[in-house]
Structure 1
């Protein structure tokens, strides 16, 4: 089985054996196109070429071993907005990445029009430039090629899953599924179809959007532009956070996982009923399998792993991300500097698009190690904020948190997360939970995998909370004070 994990930073192609075990990983980064205004874009053509290049490497290995690829799963960065030609599939503009807040003014205008409550009621999400609908609106208003394609009925608008499916099937399949579609802010959470009123609010033509099918549907056949000897089915597609939830086997009410990527997604399984948050969280769709829908509460943190990258690439404080854990452990425990990494506003549960980053509480004891510690702690604090609100919404106090993503290699952060959340933290024995989740869905659909496949493949390392309650509360009080400073000064 082959899994495409199309993340914010790059492409991963993963090969899984017929017993579900990860066999080989191929990866390639794509450029992060950031202009002087801080807008973040991706080159869709570059992403597509990277997919083909990696699949070529994977297929060469498979062929040498006398094996064959029999099916494909796809997982992807979710809210990124793509626009391309319906006729020949070429990109009409650079993709607007989920991190990008260029549509903030559009959302401010919609708030003045009084439609924010309608958007949240129908989509399950607060009106925000974070989601794809406002990005589609921006493309339609600002990109000439997108405008012309729309006038000529030649426009496809979609998230990255739809872009890849379209390319993989040479335009034969223009589809998406609920875990991605619900993140656009155009899907009606109850009907699970594109909502005409939401589309009208964001000026998005219904005809430009893909068909919404089950997450384990047949999305089409692909030979990866001739790389494979014969076409194989694409049979499982999930947004990266939902794929990680499935890969973590968080299938029961109240199960929680946190994915540490460029940003972080924290999800709680809430079953078959879309519970609406009263505490600044989002109600989304986890997946729809064989017509049965599962919902989640979700909170998104804009900057988690990206904070470490900022330390390395922009501040030049570290040469390698692996240094951060050791530095944090060397920090003066009496130093109480807090970093609030609101570089592109604050996400859940605060939803402050105007917020700017702040370092609070620095003294002469705040040196390099202390600053790095504050940066790592900011990740744990933000994730804990979301979990606390989830527990209030559903009155569920489960004390286990499953985690995944590259930053989970950081032992200091994992222990801090267990301490500050007062929960047992379970770290799986391999990182590729999103890729595994997507291919697991596809493998089940193809009858290649069974429900027991997960149990034999995923083992966990445990972190137990060690921080005493008074110390924990003191840390939380300091963090909340710093966040309050940000929210009061940037409105």
Structure 2
């Protein structure tokens, strides 16, 4: 068999990528899908559009190289993580649009839980904080707000899943209702210390256990595709949430290894090994993907608006016609012209965790040009990553020696150089930047013997690009201080 197929279901698009045995991309297909904003702070997707766009991409990718199902060793799935879908077991139809991880509609529910004193106990079990970001309050919202949903759930008629569960359910004609340990660890319902759904958490969030999927390892045979023409009989053998897949794809398998993914949001993860550790600096502890079928952990800092700020420049301000144009626009200016941009469109994530923060663009002058705004937008991504890395360094005995990077915005040389400058450490970009999909492929390929060992994977990695810090440290410190002042102004902006 010539390829492993990765289904990379993201927040704004679905992609399918075929990888050959060297880890190189043989073919790719991608389709954007619609974002819905029914109210301020609400973000939704159409689950059926997610499914159909993902399947269309998979078939298209195979068609680009003339591959047939017999040429595919296995399928690996990676997905936007905390997004919630609830559907009918009898029909497979969703009862409500998918509530996306960015959605903030349950902020009051979270505040009430925090005020009740439940926070420490929940963090001890899950490694997470109480925040609308995670799945549990979204599930409860659907049960409380969709007519008849709670009664139907208690009768066992409804299924919940993150996007991986939704895809596997339909790929296997409803025969498998599963999620892997990494996605389960993002729900606020999974005890990451004991590796199981937690009855006390289900009680706190008032969610019937019958809704939940079975939990599998990230690298194991789950089932075969039975429903989709062009993919029939291919084995599904890898599942991981997008950021854990990227950590695995970057070969960050040892304690201390770290990566940052520049996607719609930014997510910095550091492998901390097999012992659960609760963060002291407002990071979260999550389960890392492993091919060893054991619980491994990572510290994570989640930034809600990363590459999405570029989409905002494109779609809202119309400063650019495509996301790819932002680098040339920003490069036309030597700096941001005194601007600071805090893209807290949906509040601030790690290490601030402030759902009331508002976006802020400060320092506008008569001579401010579109290039200054574009540059400030890119720099805002790097500043947010630097904040998270400072928190990570506070958790570990040794500061990070280098940051491995991936994701769509990692191809932006101007951003990567500025990131190295404000961090003061090298930034390392792999030859294949699609490491989220690559990690899913690695997990699926290892499970079926397409790759036999970690050495096979390491031997195929070469031609990394390194960005060395070039900015004077005093200047970097001055800019970082101005950034922090801007962040302070953005906090508690929304009453």
Instruction: Tell me the TM-score range normalised by the shorter chain.
Output: over 0.9
DSSP 3-state at the match of 2:465: strand
Q: Is the 8 A contact 1:107 1:134 kept in 2?
A: yes
CA distance in 2, matches of 1:20, 1:304: 27
CA distance in 2, matches of 1:66, 1:168: 14
Q: Does 1:147 align with 2:150?
A: yes
Sort the Cα spacing of 1:65 and 1:489 in 2 relative to 1 into closer, same or farther, 3 A.
closer
Task: Find 1:22's aligned residue among 25, 35, 38.
Answer: 25
- Indicate the residue corresponding to 1:486 in structure 2: 490
Q: Which moves more between the two structures, 436-445 or 9-18?
A: 9-18
Q: Is the 8 A contact 1:62 1:68 kept in 2?
A: no
Q: Does 1:261 align with 2:263?
A: yes
Shift in Å, 1:428: 1.3
DSSP 3-state at the match of 1:262: coil
- Indicate the residue corresponding to 1:57 in structure 2: 60
Sort the Cα spacing of 1:334 and 1:96 in 2 relative to 1 into closer, same or farther, 3 A.
closer
CA distance in 2, matches of 1:23, 1:411: 24
Task: Find 1:401's aligned residue among 400, 403, 406.
Answer: 403
Q: Does 1:78 align with 2:81?
A: yes
Q: Is the 8 A contact 2:341 2:362 kept in 1?
A: yes
Cα RMSD for the two superposed structures: 1.8
Shift in Å, 1:364: 3.0
Q: Is the 8 A contact 1:399 1:422 kept in 2?
A: no
DSSP 3-state at the match of 1:273: coil
- Indicate the residue corresponding to 2:414 in structure 1: 412
Shift in Å, 1:29: 1.4
CA distance in 2, matches of 1:64, 1:258: 33
DSSP 3-state at the match of 1:31: coil
Q: Deviations over 1:71-102 (max 9, x none)?
A: 11000000101101122222111100001111
- Indicate the residue corresponding to 1:107 in structure 2: 110
- Indicate the residue corresponding to 1:474 in structure 2: 478
Task: Find 2:34's aligned residue among 20, 31, 45.
Answer: 31
Q: Does 1:377 align with 2:387?
A: no
Q: What is the TM-score normalised by the length of structure 2?
A: 0.95
DSSP 3-state at the match of 1:140: helix
Q: What is the TM-score normalised by the length of structure 1?
A: 0.96
- Indicate the residue corresponding to 1:4 in structure 2: 7
Q: Deviations over 1:407-445 (max 9, x none)?
A: 112111110001001111111112321111011111111
Q: Superposition pairs for residues 98-177 of structure 1, below 5 Å?
A: 98-144=101-147, 146-177=149-180
Q: Deviations over 1:88-143 (max 9, x none)?
A: 22211110000111111211221232212222221111100010111111111111
Shift in Å, 1:170: 0.7
Q: Does 1:245 align with 2:231?
A: no
Task: Find 1:461's aligned residue among 457, 465, 477.
Answer: 465
DSSP 3-state at the match of 1:37: coil
- Indicate the residue corresponding to 2:294 in structure 1: 292
CA distance in 2, matches of 1:108, 1:66: 49
CA distance in 2, matches of 1:334, 1:90: 48
Sort the Cα spacing of 1:213 and 1:111 in 2 relative to 1 into closer, same or farther, 3 A.
same
Sort the Cα spacing of 1:288 and 1:201 in 2 relative to 1 into closer, same or farther, 3 A.
farther
